[in-house]
Amino acid sequence: MLGTWMSIGSPVIAEIAAHSGFDWLLFDLEHGNEAEAALPAQLRAISATHCKAIVRVGAIYPDLIARVLDWGAHGIMAPRINTAAEAESLVQAAHYAPRGRRGYSRSARTYGYGLNPPATSADITPPIIMAQIETIEGVQNTAAITAVDGIDVLFIGPADLQFDLQARPHLADFDYPTALETVNQIASSAGKSTGILIRDQAQLQSHRDLGFTHIAIDSDLAILRKGYQQILHPPTS
Amino acid sequence: MLGTWMSIGSPVIAEIAAHSGFDWLLFDLEHGNEAEAALPAQLRAISATHCKAIVRVGAIYPDLIARVLDWGAHGIMAPRINTAAEAESLVQAAHYAPRGRRGYSRSARTYGYGLNPPATSADITPPIIMAQIETIEGVQNTAAITAVDGIDVLFIGPADLQFDLQARPHLADFDYPTALETVNQIASSAGKSTGILIRDQAQLQSHRDLGFTHIAIDSDLAILRKGYQQILHPPTS
Amino acid sequence: MLGTWMSIGSPVIAEIAAHSGFDWLLFDLEHGNEAEAALPAQLRAISATHCKAIVRVGAIYPDLIARVLDWGAHGIMAPRINTAAEAESLVQAAHYAPRGRRGYSRSARTYGYGLNPPATSADITPPIIMAQIETIEGVQNTAAITAVDGIDVLFIGPADLQFDLQARPHLADFDYPTALETVNQIASSAGKSTGILIRDQAQLQSHRDLGFTHIAIDSDLAILRKGYQQILHPPTS
Amino acid sequence: MLGTWMSIGSPVIAEIAAHSGFDWLLFDLEHGNEAEAALPAQLRAISATHCKAIVRVGAIYPDLIARVLDWGAHGIMAPRINTAAEAESLVQAAHYAPRGRRGYSRSARTYGYGLNPPATSADITPPIIMAQIETIEGVQNTAAITAVDGIDVLFIGPADLQFDLQARPHLADFDYPTALETVNQIASSAGKSTGILIRDQAQLQSHRDLGFTHIAIDSDLAILRKGYQQILHPPTS
Amino acid sequence: MLGTWMSIGSPVIAEIAAHSGFDWLLFDLEHGNEAEAALPAQLRAISATHCKAIVRVGAIYPDLIARVLDWGAHGIMAPRINTAAEAESLVQAAHYAPRGRRGYSRSARTYGYGLNPPATSADITPPIIMAQIETIEGVQNTAAITAVDGIDVLFIGPADLQFDLQARPHLADFDYPTALETVNQIASSAGKSTGILIRDQAQLQSHRDLGFTHIAIDSDLAILRKGYQQILHPPTS
Amino acid sequence: MLGTWMSIGSPVIAEIAAHSGFDWLLFDLEHGNEAEAALPAQLRAISATHCKAIVRVGAIYPDLIARVLDWGAHGIMAPRINTAAEAESLVQAAHYAPRGRRGYSRSARTYGYGLNPPATSADITPPIIMAQIETIEGVQNTAAITAVDGIDVLFIGPADLQFDLQARPHLADFDYPTALETVNQIASSAGKSTGILIRDQAQLQSHRDLGFTHIAIDSDLAILRKGYQQILHPPTS
Ligand SMILES: [Mg+2]
Ligand SMILES: [Mg+2]
Ligand SMILES: [Mg+2]
Ligand SMILES: [Mg+2]
Ligand SMILES: [Mg+2]
Ligand SMILES: [Mg+2]
C-alpha cells in the first residue's frame, strides 16, 4: 500500500501519479495549496485507475467528511486525533446509521450519480479511516484510539510529532523512535494497520520493518523542489 | 411554491431552471457536486427572475449561513434538525440582533452592494428558513422544532428518513407514511409550512393533499440520468 | 455509434453521460456555454469509460485542434466545411507529418503524460475527423470534401443547413431531405461515414435507414429544458 | 448611451456597474486582465438590468464573435478596423445568412437556452457593431468603413490613435483633434454613430458637443487606481 | 499602518492596491464576495510588495486559520470576539505549540514551499492577530480580551457595533463614541494596538487622534460604487 | 540563462520554480495542460523574483501575443517558424508602431496597471522573441529568419525537428546534429542567441559547448513522472 502526497492541488499531477502505479494518494486539505473547491477535479482525474483517494481534512467536520466521500473519496485522514472521543466522532462522520450519522444520497458521485446505488446497506463499501497520531497526547492515548471500531489505520505525522516533542518535552516520557514502536505494537495487537509519510524511497524498508503498511513517500511539491535544486545546484562529483 | 434541486453546480442550469418558471431552487452544498466556491455564479445566474434561491448548507455554520445570505440567497435549508436547540441555532445564524447573531454589512450583494441598503431594520426581508426533518429524533421532536420562532418550513428528507427507519427500527414507533402525516399535522396546527423532495410530477398532487406546500420535484442530475437512460434504453412498445 | 451533445460544459454531466453508455460525446466549443478552459476537466471525467470524446472547434485553428488532441480528445468536429481545401486544412491540423503539420509532444495527456508514448509513428492512433456539411456550398461540394484523405465522417448540421436553405433559397436546387440523401449516397460510395444530430430517440431508426451511422441524440441543455417543461407544464390527459 | 470599461474581469464589478445605471458596459478581451473564460459569468451578472453588454474582441475571429453573441452579448467592438474589407468581415462574423456567415443555434443563452428562440429571422435582434478607428489608416478610410452596412458605431481608440500619430507622423496630414472632427462629420453624414473612451466625467460635455453619442467613461481598474492614490496621497489643501 | 478592504476577491485588485502603497490589505472571507478558494491567487498577487495580508475569517476555525497562514497570510482578523475565551481560542489556532495547537508543515507556501523553512522555532514570525470588538459584550469584555497574550490589535467593527447598540440598547450603558474611547484607553494601557475601518480619507486624522494605529480606509467595492455614482450623477456645481 | 518548462499550468509550481532560481520559465500554451485562462495566475506567482516569463503561444495570433505581453510576460516563443515572413509577423505582433502593430494600453499589468506607464516610447522594454526552428524548412531558412530584426533567440524544438527528419527524410540533406551546428553558426555570425530544451542536467555542458545560451532543462511534468518512477521502481543496486 504505497502512496504519495498531493499538496499542489492539480488534477494533472493526480492523474500522472495514479497512472504511475501508486496504491493510494493523499489529497491534502490541511496543509495543501488549494481549497476544497479544487478536489472534485482531482478525484475525477484518477477514476480510470485502481488508485485509492484518501482526503485529509483540516478537522473533523462531519459535513465535509460526508461530502468528500459523496464525491468519491475512498477514505479520510484526520489530523491530530488525540482521544478516543475524537476518533469516535471521526468514524461517526464517515459512516451511515446505525454506526454513524452521515446523511445519505443515492445520487452522489460515489454511487455513479445514481447509476450504481447500493441495493442494501450491506453493499456499501465502508470508507478507509486513517487517524493521525501526531501529538504527545495522541501517542499516550493510542490504545484507546485504536480500540475505536472503524479506525483502520493509525497514521504517524512525523513533522508534528517531532515538533511537539521538542516544544513540550516535559509532557512526554518517550522519544520519537519509541513512539513509532509503541504505535506499531498497539496497532498490531489490535489487528489494525499503521502508516507514515516518509521523504525518500531509501527509508521504505526500514519503516516496513517497523510494521508500517500504509506508507506514503514524498509529495508532488517536494519532488519538484528537489528536482529544481538538482538542476540548478547539481552535486559536483 | 414548486422548486427543483440543483445538484450539479452549474450556473447555466440554474439560469435555465429559473427562467423555466420554478418558484424556488435548492442549491445543495450538502450532497451537491460543487463546493461553496461555485455558489456566487449560480446566484447571479437567476437574478433576472423572481425565483427564490434556497441554499442547503451541510451543517449549521453561522458564518456560512450569513455569507450565503450576504451573497443573495433568499433562504437556508439545514439538514438533520433533530432538536429545538438546533433549530434555534439555525434561526440565530440567519437573523441579525436582537433575534440572532448574524454580522451586518450594508455592502453585501443582497443589498445591491450598498446601492440598496435597508433604511431601518424594518426594511430587512427575513430569510426563509427550512429545517429538515429526516431522522427518527427529528420526527419525535417536530412539535418543539416547529415552535421555534423563525422556522418557516419543516422539510422532509425522504431518503434519510427512510434510511434511518430501516437502520434503527427499534427506536421508532411509527412508519414513514405516518411520519409525513404527523409532521404535516403539527406544522398545520402551528401555522407553519411543510415541504418535501419528490422524484416525479406524478407524485405532486398526492403530496399536496398531505399538506405539503413547498415541494421540490427532481434534480438536474436525475433528469439527465433518466433522460440518458431513455435514449440508450428506450422502452419497447 | 450513438452520441449526445455536451453544451453546458460540466464535468459532472460528461461523467454521467459517459457512464450511461454513450459511444461518443460531442464537447461543443462552437455554440457551447463554456470556453476552452473548461475542456480538460470534462475530458478527464470520462477517462474510466470507452466513450470517445469528439471536440467541436469553432473554426479550423491548427493550434487548438492539436491542443485538444494533446489533451486526450479522440476526434475533432469542424463546422461549416464548405470546400475540399477547408477539409484538407482540417486534416492537416489533426495529423503529424507527413500527412499533416501537427506539432509533437510525447508528454501530452493523450500519451499518458509520457507514460505511454508511441513507440513508432505506426502506433499513433489517428484522430476521428468529422466535417460538418451545413451550408449550401457544403452540400454542393460534398463529393470533393469526401474525397479528402483523413475525413472520416460527414456530419450534417441540421439547424444551420435548414437556416441556410431558407435564407438563400436562390442558391440551391435541392431541399433539406434531398441533401441528406445526397450526402449519404456520396459518402457511402466513397466508403466514408455520415452523422447527424437529432432531437429525439424516435427519430433514430429513420435516420439510420438513411445511412447515418454517427448519430447524436439531443443535448444536456435540451434534456433539462424539456424536463423542466414537463414538470411545470405537464401534459393534461 | 453612457458606458464604462470592464478591465478587471470580475462579475461582482459588472453587477455593480450595471445596477448603478450605465447604458452599456465594455467587456475587454483585448487589453483586459482575464481571458475569454471569465466572460460568461460577467454576462450573467448583468442580466437583471437593461444594461447592454459590448464585448471587445482582440481580433476579428468569426467563431469568437459568434460565441460571445451566443452567450448573450448585445454587441461587438473590434480594434484596429483599418479598411472597409475588415469592417465587412466584422459584420459578416456577427450576422447570420444572408448578410453574414454566423452559425445558428436556437439553444444559445441569447435565446434563453431555447426558451425564447426567434420565430422567424425577422425576430432576431441585430447585434450592435462598433468598429474602432485608432490608426492613421483607419482615419483615412473612415468613409469607406462607415459605408459598410451593419457598422453601427465608429469608436475612437484615443490611446492607440495618439500613439500612432506620434510613432508614424510622416504618414498623417492631420492631428488628433482633427481626426475626431473628421470621423464625426463622416459618420453624421452617413447617419451612423460615433463613440469614444474618455477618462473623466468633466470631459463628457465637450465630447458630446463633438458629436459622440456612445461615450464610455473610465474603467474599473482606473477608478480603483485613482481611488487608492487619493487615499494614500490626498491633495494637500 | 494604513490598510484597505478587499471585498471583491480579485487578484488584479489586490495587486493594484499593494503596489499603490498600502501597508496592509484585509482579505474578507466573512462578508466578501468570493469563497476561500479565491484566496491563494490574491495572496500571490501581492508577493512582490511589503504589503501585509490579513485574512478575516468568518469564525474561529482552527484549520482555516492555520491554512491561510500556511498559504502566506501575515495575520488573521476574527469577527465578534466577545470573551477572553474566544480570544484565547483565536490565538491558539494561529500559534504552534507550546502557545497554541497549529499543525506544522515546513513545505507550506509561507516557508517558500520548503525553500525557506524556519531553522528553529525562534525563527518563526508570529502572525498578527486582530480581534474584532463589535458587540456590546465585546466592549464590556475588552480588558479581558486585551489581556490575552498574542492578541495584537483590537479592531472595531463600526457597522456591527452601531447596529448592536441600536438593536439591544437596554444592554449597554455606553454609546458608540464612548466605546471607541474605552477600547483605545484599555488597549493603550496594556500596550496593545487598536484599529478600525473608516469610509473616507477625511476621517483619518480624527481616528488617529483617538489612538487608532491600524486604520483601513474604504473597500474596493465601495470605491467603485461611489466612482460610478460620481460618473452617472455628478454633483451639480 | 537557465530555464525550465511549465507544462502543468499551476501557479504553485511556477512560484517554486521561480524562487528556486531559474532565469526564465517557459509557460506552454502549445502543448501544456491548461488553457490561456490559467496564465495570469501563473504570471503573478513569479512577480517577486527576477525570473523572466516566456509564453509559448500555439500560433502567431497577434492579439494573443499582445495580451500575454500586457499581462506581464517578458517574452514570446512561437513554434514552427519556417520562413522570414512568419518571423516578421511574430515580431510585428509583439512590438508597437512603428516596428509593429501591437495595440497600446497604459493600464496593462505590464505597466503596473497604470502605476508605471512608460514616459516615452524609449522607456518601453522590448519583449524577448524566441522563434522555434523545428522543421526541415525552418532549418533551411534559418539565415533569413535570423536576419529579421527583433528575433532574439533561435530556439530548437528537438522532438519536432527529429520527428520531421524521420517523417520526411527525402526533404533534408542534413541530420539532427548538423542542424544544431548550422543554427548555432548562423545565429552566432548574426549576433543572435540560440536555445534548446534538454531533458537532463547532464546534457547542459555539451549544449553550451555547441553555442546554446538559452537552455531549458526538463519540465514540471517530466520531473514528477520520473520522480514517481524512481519511487515505484527504484533501480536495484
Ligand atoms: Mg500534521
Ligand atoms: Mg438528507
Ligand atoms: Mg452549425
Ligand atoms: Mg486600442
Ligand atoms: Mg462585523
Ligand atoms: Mg514543437
Tell me chain E's radius of gyration from C-alpha atoms: 18
- What's the number of CA atoms in the CB half-sphere (13 Å) around residue C20? 29
Residue A162 has pLDDT above 90, yes or no: yes
Put simply, the answer to whether C231 touches B4 (Cβ < 8 Å) is yes
The rounded Å distance from CA B58 to ligand 2 centre is 9
Q: Which residues of C touch B13 (CB under 8 A)?
A: 8, 10, 224
Min Cα separation F46/chain D (Å): 17
* Closest alpha carbon to C7 in C51, C46, C56, C40: C56
Tell me chain C's radius of gyration from C-alpha atoms: 18
Q: How many CB atoms lie within 10 A of CB C24?
A: 24
Return the CATH fold of B2-114+122-232: TIM Barrel (3.20.20)
* Closest alpha carbon to C10 in B228, A47, A113, B13: B13
Instruction: For residues D234 and A211, give the distance between their C-alpha atoms in angstroms, rounded to a whole number.
Output: 67
Phi, psi of A108 (to 5 degrees): -70, 155
Question: CA D5 → CA A75, D22, D197, D204, distances in Å?
Answer: 48, 11, 8, 15
C-alpha cell at A60: 473533523
Residue F68 has pLDDT above 90, yes or no: yes
Instruction: For residues F104 and C236, give the distance between their C-alpha atoms in angstroms, rounded to a whole number.
Output: 62
Catalytic residue among E31, E74, E95, E233: E31
Give residue-wise pLDDT tens across range D129-139: 999 999 999 99
**Residue B237's pLDDT is what?**
61
Best E7, E20, E226 member to test D by mutation, with max D CBs in 10 Å, is E20
B131: which DSSP letter?
A: E
Q: Which residues surround ligand 4, an ion (CB under 5 A)?
A: D 79, 134, 157, 160; F 103
**Residue F190 burial by CB count (10 A; 0-12/13-18/19+): exposed, middle or buried?**
middle
Q: Where in chain E are the domains?
A: 2-232
State in words which class domain F2-129+195-232 has: alpha beta
The rounded Å distance from CA D223 to ligand 2 centre is 47
Instruction: For residues F180 and E115, give the distance between their C-alpha atoms in angstroms, rounded to a whole number.
Output: 36
Put simply, the answer to whether A17 touches F217 (Cβ < 8 Å) is no
Tell me the β-bridge partners of A198. Answer: A217
Put simply, the answer to whether D168 touches F98 (Cβ < 8 Å) is yes
C-alpha cell at A99: 454506526
Instruction: For residues C169 and C174, give the distance between their C-alpha atoms in angstroms, rounded to a whole number.
Output: 9
* Closest alpha carbon to D194 in D68, D64, D58, D77: D77
Q: C90 Cβ partners below 8 Å, 6+ apart?
A: C60, C65, C76, C78, C81, C129, C131, C151
Containing F153, the helix (H) or strand (E) segment is strand F153-156
Q: Which residues of E touch D223 (CB under 8 A)?
A: 223-224, 227-228
Tell me the β-bridge partners of B55. Answer: B27, B76
- What mean pLDDT comes out for the span C97-114? 97
- What mean pLDDT comes out for the span B152-172? 97
Instruction: For residues C116 and C136, give the distance between their C-alpha atoms in angstroms, rounded to a whole number.
Output: 43
Please enumerate residues of E whose Cβ is less than 8 A from a Cβ of B: 7, 30-31, 33-38, 57-59, 79-80, 134, 157, 159-160, 163-164, 166-168, 219, 221-222, 225
Instruction: For residues F50 and E48, give the distance between their C-alpha atoms in angstroms, rounded to a whole number.
Output: 10
**Residue A237's pLDDT is what?**
61
C-alpha E119: how far from chain center = 29
Sequential DSSP letters for chain D:
-EEEEE-S--HHHHHHHHHHT-SEEEEESSS-SS-GGGHHHHHHHTTTS-PEEEEE-SS--HHHHHHHHHTT-SEEEES---SHHHHHHHHHHHS-TTT------TTSGGGGGGTS--SSGGGPPPPEEEEEE-SHHHHHTHHHHHTSTT--EEEE-HHHHHHHHHHSGGG-SS-HHHHHHHHHHHHHHHT-EEEEEES-GGGHHHHHHTT--EEEEEEHHHHHHHHHHHHHSPPP-
Containing A159, the helix (H) or strand (E) segment is helix A158-167
**Residue E122's pLDDT is what?**
87
Pick the ligand that lies closest to the CA of residue B155: 2
**Residue D237's pLDDT is what?**
62
Instruction: Give the CA-trace dihedral at B7, B9, B10, B15, to 10 degrees.
Output: 70
* Closest alpha carbon to B150 in B211, B86, B106, B195: B86
**Residue F235's pLDDT is what?**
86
Which chains reach chain D with 3 or more Cβ–Cβ distances below 8 angstroms? B, C, E, F
Q: Are B117 and B105 in contact (CB under 8 A)?
A: no
What is the torsional sign of CA F166, F168, F170, F172?
A: negative
Instruction: For residues E150 and B185, give the distance between their C-alpha atoms in angstroms, rounded to a whole number.
Output: 54
Residue D122 has pLDDT above 90, yes or no: no
Please enumerate residues of B whose Cβ is less than 8 A from a Cβ of A: 7, 30-31, 33-38, 57-59, 79-80, 134, 157, 159-160, 163-164, 166-168, 219, 221-222, 225
B60: which DSSP letter?
A: -
E112: nearest CB among F19, F45, F109: F19
E-strand spans in A34-184? 52-56, 75-78, 128-133, 153-156
Min Cα separation A231/chain B (Å): 38
- What mean pLDDT comes out for the span A26-35? 97
Q: D202 Cβ partners below 8 Å, 6+ apart?
A: none
Min Cα separation B167/chain A (Å): 6
Give residue-wise pLDDT tens across range C26-83: 999 999 999 999 999 999 999 999 999 999 999 999 999 999 999 999 999 999 999 9
What ipTM describes this predicted complex? 0.97
Q: A34 Cβ partners below 8 Å, 6+ apart?
A: A8, A9, E37, E40
Q: Are A3 and A25 in contact (CB under 8 A)?
A: yes
Instruction: For residues E172 and A58, give the distance between their C-alpha atoms in angstroms, rounded to a whole number.
Output: 38
Put simply, the answer to whether B66 touches E80 (Cβ < 8 Å) is no
Instruction: For residues C96 and C103, give the distance between their C-alpha atoms in angstroms, rounded to a whole number.
Output: 7
- What mean pLDDT comes out for the span B91-102? 97
What is the torsional sign of CA B29, B32, B33, B39?
A: negative
Hey, is B106 helix, strand or coil?
coil
C-alpha cell at D190: 452617413
State in words which class domain D2-232 has: alpha beta
Residue in A closest to F235 by C-alpha: A201
Instruction: For residues C53 and C39, give the distance between their C-alpha atoms in angstroms, rounded to a whole number.
Output: 11
Tell me the β-bridge partners of A27. Answer: A6, A55
Instruction: For residues B104 and B121, give the distance between their C-alpha atoms in angstroms, rounded to a whole number.
Output: 11
**Residue B235's pLDDT is what?**
85
Hey, is C216 helix, strand or coil?
strand
Q: How far apart are the first and last CA of chain E?
A: 36
Mean pLDDT of chain C, nearest integer: 97
C-alpha A174: how far from chain center = 24
Instruction: For residues F122 and A207, give the distance between their C-alpha atoms in angstroms, rounded to a whole number.
Output: 63
Put simply, the answer to whether B201 touches C9 (Cβ < 8 Å) is no
Min Cα separation B67/chain E (Å): 6
* Residue % of chain A over a pLDDT of 70: 100
Q: From first to last of its 237 residues, what are the pLDDT tens digits of chain E?
A: 999 999 999 999 999 999 999 999 999 999 999 999 999 999 999 999 999 999 999 999 999 999 999 999 999 999 999 999 999 999 999 999 999 999 999 999 999 999 999 998 889 999 999 999 999 999 999 999 999 999 999 999 999 999 999 999 999 999 999 999 999 999 999 999 999 999 999 999 999 999 999 999 999 999 999 999 999 999 876
**Residue D121's pLDDT is what?**
84
Instruction: For residues C60 and F185, give the distance between their C-alpha atoms in angstroms, rounded to a whole number.
Output: 37
Put simply, the answer to whether F16 touches E115 (Cβ < 8 Å) is yes
Pick the ligand that lies closest to the CA of residue D78: 4
Instruction: For residues D117 and C232, give the distance between their C-alpha atoms in angstroms, rounded to a whole number.
Output: 19
Give residue-wise pLDDT tens across range B110-155: 999 999 999 988 899 999 999 999 999 999 999 999 999 999 999 9
Tell me chain D's radius of gyration from C-alpha atoms: 18
Which chains reach chain F with 3 or more Cβ–Cβ distances below 8 angstroms? A, C, D, E
D7: nearest CB among F39, F67, F107: F107
Residue B78 has pLDDT above 90, yes or no: yes
Q: Is the peptide bond before F98 cis (omega within 30 degrees of 0)?
A: yes
Residue in B closest to C230 by C-alpha: B201
E202-222: b (≥16 Cβ within 10 Å) or e: eebeebeebbbbbbbbbbbbb
Put simply, the answer to whether D67 touches C159 (Cβ < 8 Å) is no
| Active site residues per annotation of F | 31
**Residue B34's pLDDT is what?**
94
Residue in F closest to C39 by C-alpha: F35
C-alpha cell at E81: 470576539
Q: How many CB atoms lie within 10 A of CB C178?
A: 12
C-alpha cell at C187: 459518402
Residue F231 has pLDDT above 90, yes or no: yes
Put simply, the answer to whether B168 touches A98 (Cβ < 8 Å) is yes
Give the model's confidence band at F237: pLDDT under 50 very low, under 70 low, under 90 confident, else very high: low
**Residue A164's pLDDT is what?**
97
Q: Which residue has the cell 447570420?
A: D96
Put simply, the answer to whether B167 touches A98 (Cβ < 8 Å) is yes
- What's the number of CA atoms in the CB half-sphere (13 Å) around residue C169? 2
A228: nearest CB among F10, F17, F33: F17
